[in-house]
Amino acid sequence: MTTAVPTSLAGGPRRRVWRNRLFQLAMLSCMFVAFGTLALLLADTLITGWPELSRRLLTGLPSTVPGEAGARPAILATLYLGLLVLVFSVPIGVLTAIYLEEYANRERWWNRAIEVNIQNLAAVPAIVYGILGLAFIVRGIGVGRVVLAGGLILTLVVLPTVVVASREAIRAVPDSIRQGAFALGATKWQVVWRQVLPASIPGIATGSILALSRAVGETAPLIMVGAITYVAFNPSLFGPYTALPVQIYNWTKQPDPGFQTLAAAAAIVLLAIVLSMNAVAIFLRNRYRKQW
């Protein structure tokens, strides 16, 4: 403060200023708790796993001896699962979102019921989908414990999230764009397909990729539907598989402490996969960001 400020102004609001600062401090410390825990976890994993982060881990086959073990089948299967989830969840999720946002009549009770259901499904624990998948996909329609079944179940897990994210993105497209397109004589389908959908792609892409990175990290439903732990060959769509999170989980349970470090190293790989997906999401969002 300069001396030009009258004393009456400098002295008065001291208490309020202090409260203001106190609140800022409280917020800052909350952020540190959240961020610090994450940073600690990351640092611990990185320090533990770094020495084992080798080419063998990426290209080798699993083994009972930690010094010889790699995770290639698990890494590949995780990438396949991610692709499958993308192939299934994005078209279904986006079309559902379009229906709910652009076509569904909110006055009808069944449309409201669908909406509430989707919101709730997004909060259902993944293991429940695992049980469902085991009963209906693996055994029910007899897909078996194969990559395709895993992909379908993970699709179920993330579908509600994709729908919710896509709806948000579609809702964010201003009505003036729809009106402008309608005014030129476009049909509803043309308005949705050629204006609303392209305009909401950044939001849809971001939401879908974030959902995808969740799917890639899921363990519980995959254990339910038999992502087997020893697989010494590259996975195929209709073949048995193991996924990276399952491999990590299995390694942490091994008696030999060498596997603990291996698990940490594999966790770094998984982290790298998830983070690069998120990076793509951020890139897409920035690349196609629209102003209206």
Partner 1 sequence: MKNVLGRRGLAVVFGAAACLGLVSTAIAGLAAGPTYNLKKLKGSVTADGSSTVGPYTTAAAELFRRAGATGVQLTVGISGTGGGFQRFCKGEIDLSDASRPMRNSEAAACKTNSIGSWRAFTVANDALTVVVNQQNTWARCLTVAELKKIWEPGSKVDNWKDVRAGFPDVPLKLFGPGTDSGTFDYFTEAINGRARASRSDYQASEDDNVLVQGVSGERGGMAYFGFSYFTENQSRLNAIQIANPKTSQCVAPSKATVFNNSYRPLARPLFIYAKGSSFARTEVQAFLDYIFDNEVAIANRADFISLTPKQLKRARTNFILAVKAAKRT
Partner 2 sequence: MTQMEAPRIDSSRIAEVSHGLDRSEVESRERVFSVRDLSVAYHGNVALENVELVEIRRRIGMVFQKPNPFPKSIYDNIAFGPRVLGMKGSLDERVEQALHQAALWDEVKDRLKDGALGLSGGQQQRLCIARALAVEPDVILMDEPASALDPISTTRIEDLMHELKRDYTIVIVTHNMQQAARVADMTAFFSVDVEEDGSGRRGILVEYDATTKIFTTPSDKRTEDYVTGRFG
Residue 182, interface with partner 2 (CB under 8 A)?
yes
Q: Residue from 123, 176, 257, 287 that binds partner 2 (CB under 8 A)?
A: 176
Rounded (5°) CA angle 8-14-18: 165
Residue number with CB closer to partner 1 (161 or 250): 250
- Using alpha carbons, list the distances in angstroms from residue 83 to 57, 216, 234, 248: 22, 10, 15, 20
HSE toward the beta carbon, residue 169, CA cutoff 13 A: 31
Residue ranges in 135-174 that form contacts with partner 2 under rule CB under 8 A? 174
> CB of residue 203 vs partner 2: minimum separation in angstroms?
13
Residue number with CB closer to partner 2 (100 or 263): 100
Residue number with CB closer to partner 2 (167 or 178): 178
* Token pair belonging to 178: 């729809």
Q: Residue from 21, 108, 112, 194 that binds partner 2 (CB under 8 A)?
A: 194
Residue number with CB closer to partner 1 (232 or 282): 232
Q: Residue from 4, 184, 255, 287 that binds partner 2 (CB under 8 A)?
A: 184
Q: What b-and-e string marks burial along 22-38, b requiring 16 or more CB atoms within 10 Å of the CB?
A: eeeeeeeeeeeeeeeee
> Of partner 1, partner 2, none, which one sits near residue 176, judging by CB under 5 to 8 A according to partner kind?
partner 2
Phi, psi of 142 (to 5 degrees): 70, 35
Q: Cα separation of 278 and 42, whole Å? A: 16
Residues in contact with partner 2 by CB under 8 A are 174-187, 190, 194-195, 198-199, 290-292
